[in-house]
Structure 1
Amino acid sequence: MRDAYSVETVRAAERELMARLPPGTLMKRAAAGLAAACAGTLGRVRGRVYGSRVVLLVGSGDNGGDALFAGAYLARRGAGVTAVLLSPERAHGAGLAALRSAGGRAVAAPGAVVEGAPVDLPALLGRADLVLDGIVGIGGRGGLRPDAVEVWDVVRDAGVPVVAVDLPSGVDADTGEVRGVAVRATATVTFGAHKPGLLLAPAREHAGAVHLVDIGLGPYLAGTAPVARAPRHADVARLLPGPSAESDKYRRGVTGVAAGSARYPGAAVLAVAGALRGGAGAVRYAGPAADAVVARFPETLVSAGPPSAAGRVQAWVVGPGLGDDRAARETVRDVLAARVPVLVDADGLRLVDVERVRSRTAPTLLTPHAGEAAALLDGVPREEVESARLSSARELARRYRATVLLKGSTTVIAGPEEGPVLVNPTGTGWLATAGSGDVLSGLVGSLLAAGLSARDAAAVGAYLHGLAGRRAAPLAVATDVADALRPVWRDVAEGPRRPPRGREEGARGET
């Protein structure tokens, strides 16, 4: 797992470690790792460090000190380094001295209160190969201040690659929220541990490729709870269900699907496709789209009656394409009365009753996108859910006493119990296509039927679904995503030949 810790937890660990080290050691460790990452970027951009030009955007805190010490390392390797000081009177003294000693120079940012003419920032950036964002550290709240916005506007317009120091300035490290103007980095070099804002949208979209520099915090974070966790290939592989020598279709898990309608028969077909590709021993379908389902998947066990009369299942999926008529409402009530895990998606989310969900003794998994989540939260603005995904998922889980898979640019999974949320790292904008969410519902439902907990089923399903979307891209439709699940499952089970692509994939899409 890739664990992300709160600012308070990281700072407590830093204090413990710093108490055992000579003064300044921790900052120099961080700066050395930052400089090495920048050297790698310069090697790709220019071909070498020597002779390159680097601009540091330096704020008043330790974040600015990290940038200054890193600039000193780069200057010693022959780079021309200029620090633009947003608050010259409060710049990190030791870092500034180290930069000047190494041959770098420092100038005041436009608008800074100093004697002499301000720097010609557009001209400086016009010659730059790389910019380091050391404006605000992990303790920052809200967007950039007006003076920093003015500087960032010039940097953005110059189009120079930007490396953020620990976290892009202007984003919230603890929540991933972006309340105002924030830096958009090409890459972020973070120190000691990931921060939640590097995993959670919308801040994640500002971070670029994330590199973690080990500065020795591991022993001091041991035993502390992360805020968020992102599964890796090995984590998912350990959870994948598989048949044993004694398995039959019932022991492998039977997934019930109550989906589709005369208007939306395809939703039923796609949910069944996801369930069949998710390792279910059998899939029972109950609903009005039986003919369409059997025509596409003759192995499906179909029933024309209510879900409760369809036969034994180990989990139900209800909602995709149901509509909102009386029959749909009765279907949702019937499924929620079952004493097995239930996944509720799409139209089913509009028909659930909060008290009925809260009173269930078997696990319930809700899989809304931001608009559906906003409605479940009594009509809060959709934009609020999208900007505060962590708190929205947690509040939904608490209110409904259910596990919540909040779909979107980054999928967030929260349970009714206390503990870290799970964040899916494999999402892709190519999943923003009609019916993709129906496939996900069936897939996760089959994992529930196989015996995974709601939390694990959601995490494994989202991870595989994201990889399938990447494999099926470009121009994938939902059936392509379903078809890609088989090879993706095999790849994860056998172990990755290479790590899954991360932030380079671009913006995530809602399913």
Structure 2
Amino acid sequence: MRNAHRVEQVRAAEAELMARLPEGALMQRAAAGLAATCARLLTRRRGRVYGSRVVVLAGSGDNGGDALYAGAVLARRGARVSAVLLAPERAHAGGLAALRAAHGQVVLDQEVGLADFSRADLVLDGIVGIGGRGGLRAEAVPYARAARRGTVVAVDVPSGVDADTGEVAGVALRADVTVCFGTYKPGLLIDPGAGYAGAVQLVGIGLDLPPADVSALQHPAVAELLPEPGAESDKYRRGVVGVAAGSATYPGAALLAVAGALHGGAGAVRYVGTAAEEVVRRFPETLVTEGGPAGAGRVQAWVVGPGGGEGARQALAEALASDVPVLVDADGLTELGRLGPGALAGRTAPTLLTPHTGEAARLLAGADGGAPPPADELAAARLATARRLAAAYRATVLLKGSTTVVADPGGAARVNPTGTSWLATAGSGDVLAGLAGSLLAAGLPVLDAASVAAYLHGLAGRHAASTPGAPVTALQVAAALPAVWRQVRASATADE
């Protein structure tokens, strides 16, 4: 599990640790880890550190200090280090003295700095630290736009990226590698910020941190959550998921949701809807019931809405009246947006909403009675959007997109690290809905079910697309689920 902490939490932990350490010791720890990472990158690129051209972009404060101290370490190893001071009057005094003592050069002329930047083998971005807000200041913008040939290493967070949210309010400096200290920062895991971070490497500095409210699953944690039948299991003990999906216009949505559900860990799938004949022909193991969710018989969770068309409103009402977890997707979300959060009032079982940003906009409009906010604004603030929706509807929200974010009403959030842009294909969301519904029926708590479903769905997309990547269909993604399920389980067994 990758745990990410807010700036406020990091600052508090740093202050507590610094009170117990000699002055400057914590910065020296961070700089040593940063320099070690840079040395490995230079050795990989050039075969050695000695003689490499290194540029330090140093802003004010401790972030610039970390970069200057790391530059001093590289200079002592024979690198030709120049530090471009973007705020000379506020440069970190100790770091600057260390760099000069190691025979590093200090550059105040920005034209010279830009020339050095463009021909450097490695650039250390120490312009803005984790407390920075908004885009780069005017004096730093040219570096974000200049041609470069070397590796850019961000110190804790790429300058211009909001460390807490991943939002990019203006111009930001794109990194190839980000070295973060003590803990991951949410902005390194969530787009658009994650797209600026490159490969993220964590350097431990001994912080004692509280539980994280943003995290990202990895194979071991997912393997622990995957349902596994026991000796006494039958299909009902494993869970039965009900799928209310498909319509005359969108019969394929039923097939895709059922395909995802069949590979999702539940013991059986019960289908209700107009596409029963097509579903049974393609998946004969499916249980089919006429009518809607109210008369379908025993289920442990419902998936409502994919391709639901004209029947979505009634199916949603019947499913929400049940006492089992309900996943609402696609046309079900459109209906819920019309009804507003009151439609979920009084529910004691969990509700999971799985919108993309366009559907999120309609849900938010339904919550506050205003016009739908622009979807691109919601996409640029993914964490805030998911949390806002979860709070408004008192439901767990899986916000789909370039970074899928799962948030619960209490503010806890998980960021999905898997996936591929090839998943942007018709029906992919229907497969995800069925998969998540099966995990709910199998008994996973709603935050876990949504997070594991997003993780497996992303892996299945990668598996179906293969390397270096090719177009895939939603059915290919569903067909790849058993393989990635085994892959996750096998990796956990190998680690034991």
- TM-score, normalised with respect to structure 1: 0.92
Q: Does 1:408 align with 2:401?
A: yes
Query: Aligned partner of 1:281: which letter?
Result: G
> Could you say which residue in structure 2 is the equivalent of 1:371?
358
Gapped regions of structure 2 (runs ≥ 5): 366-371
Looking at structure 2, the residues matched to 171 and 244 of structure 1 have their Cα atoms a distance apart, in angstroms, of 47
DSSP-derived class of the 1:377 partner? helix
Looking at structure 1, the residues matched to 139 and 422 of structure 2 have their Cα atoms a distance apart, in angstroms, of 38
Per-residue CA deviations over 1:448-492 (Å, capped at 9, x if unaligned) read: 001111111001111111111111112221111111110111111
Residue 299 of structure 1 and its aligned partner are, at CA, apart by 0.7
Per-residue CA deviations over 1:284-341 (Å, capped at 9, x if unaligned) read: 1100111211121011111231122222111000111112x2x321122111111111
Query: Aligned partner of 2:463: which letter?
Result: R
> Could you say which residue in structure 1 is the equivalent of 2:217?
231
Please give the residue correspondences for 1:268-287 in structure 2 after superposition, counting only pairs within 5 Å: 268-287=254-273
Please give the residue correspondences for 1:46-445 in structure 2 after superposition, counting only pairs within 5 Å: 46-110=46-110, 119-154=111-146, 157-217=147-207, 220-221=208-209, 224-323=210-309, 325=310, 327-352=311-336, 353=339, 354-378=341-365, 379-416=372-409, 418-445=410-437
> Could you tell me the percent identity over the aligned residues?
67
Tell me, yes or no, if the aligned pair for 1:268 and 1:289 is still in contact at 8 Å: yes
Looking at structure 2, the residues matched to 321 and 44 of structure 1 have their Cα atoms a distance apart, in angstroms, of 51
> Could you say which residue in structure 2 is the equivalent of 1:5?
5
Tell me, yes or no, if the aligned pair for 1:86 and 1:109 is still in contact at 8 Å: no
Looking at structure 1, the residues matched to 53 and 125 of structure 2 have their Cα atoms a distance apart, in angstroms, of 15
Gapped regions of structure 1 (runs ≥ 5): 111-118, 500-511
DSSP-derived class of the 1:188 partner? strand
Per-residue CA deviations over 1:235-287 (Å, capped at 9, x if unaligned) read: 11111111111111111111100001111111110100010001121111100
Per-residue CA deviations over 1:350-385 (Å, capped at 9, x if unaligned) read: 011221123322111000011111111111111221
Match of residue 491, structure 2, among 474, 491, 495? 495
> Could you say which residue in structure 2 is the equivalent of 1:44?
44
Tell me, yes or no, if the aligned pair for 2:159 and 2:172 is still in contact at 8 Å: yes
DSSP-derived class of the 1:372 partner? helix
Query: Aligned partner of 1:463: which letter?
Result: Y
Residue 121 of structure 1 and its aligned partner are, at CA, apart by 3.5
Per-residue CA deviations over 1:135-175 (Å, capped at 9, x if unaligned) read: 00011011111111123222xx2243210001001111112
Tell me, yes or no, if the aligned pair for 1:256 and 1:313 is still in contact at 8 Å: yes
Tell me, yes or no, if the aligned pair for 1:85 and 1:106 is still in contact at 8 Å: yes
> Could you say which residue in structure 2 is the equivalent of 1:113?
none
Looking at structure 2, the residues matched to 109 and 142 of structure 1 have their Cα atoms a distance apart, in angstroms, of 25
- TM-score, normalised with respect to structure 2: 0.95
Per-residue CA deviations over 1:202-261 (Å, capped at 9, x if unaligned) read: 1111111100101111xx21xx23230111211111111111111111111111000011
Tell me, yes or no, if the aligned pair for 2:243 and 2:270 is still in contact at 8 Å: yes
DSSP-derived class of the 1:158 partner? coil
Tell me, yes or no, if the aligned pair for 1:411 and 1:427 is still in contact at 8 Å: no
Q: 1:36 to 1:253 in 2, by over 3 A?
A: same
Looking at structure 2, the residues matched to 259 and 159 of structure 1 have their Cα atoms a distance apart, in angstroms, of 52
Looking at structure 1, the residues matched to 493 and 233 of structure 2 have their Cα atoms a distance apart, in angstroms, of 29
> Could you say which residue in structure 2 is the equivalent of 1:506?
none
DSSP-derived class of the 2:159 partner? coil
Query: Aligned partner of 2:436: which letter?
Result: V
Looking at structure 2, the residues matched to 125 and 170 of structure 1 have their Cα atoms a distance apart, in angstroms, of 18
Residue 498 of structure 1 and its aligned partner are, at CA, apart by 9.2
Looking at structure 1, the residues matched to 444 and 251 of structure 2 have their Cα atoms a distance apart, in angstroms, of 28
CA root-mean-square deviation: 1.5
DSSP-derived class of the 2:327 partner? strand
Count how many residue pairs are aligned between Structure 1 and Structure 2: 482
Looking at structure 2, the residues matched to 44 and 476 of structure 1 have their Cα atoms a distance apart, in angstroms, of 35
Looking at structure 1, the residues matched to 109 and 325 of structure 2 have their Cα atoms a distance apart, in angstroms, of 58
Query: Aligned partner of 1:150: which letter?
Result: P
Please give the residue correspondences for 1:15-26 in structure 2 after superposition, counting only pairs within 5 Å: 15-26=15-26
Q: 1:398 to 1:109 in 2, by over 3 A?
A: farther
Residue 390 of structure 1 and its aligned partner are, at CA, apart by 1.3
Q: 1:488 to 1:322 in 2, by over 3 A?
A: same
Tell me, yes or no, if the aligned pair for 1:59 and 1:85 is still in contact at 8 Å: yes
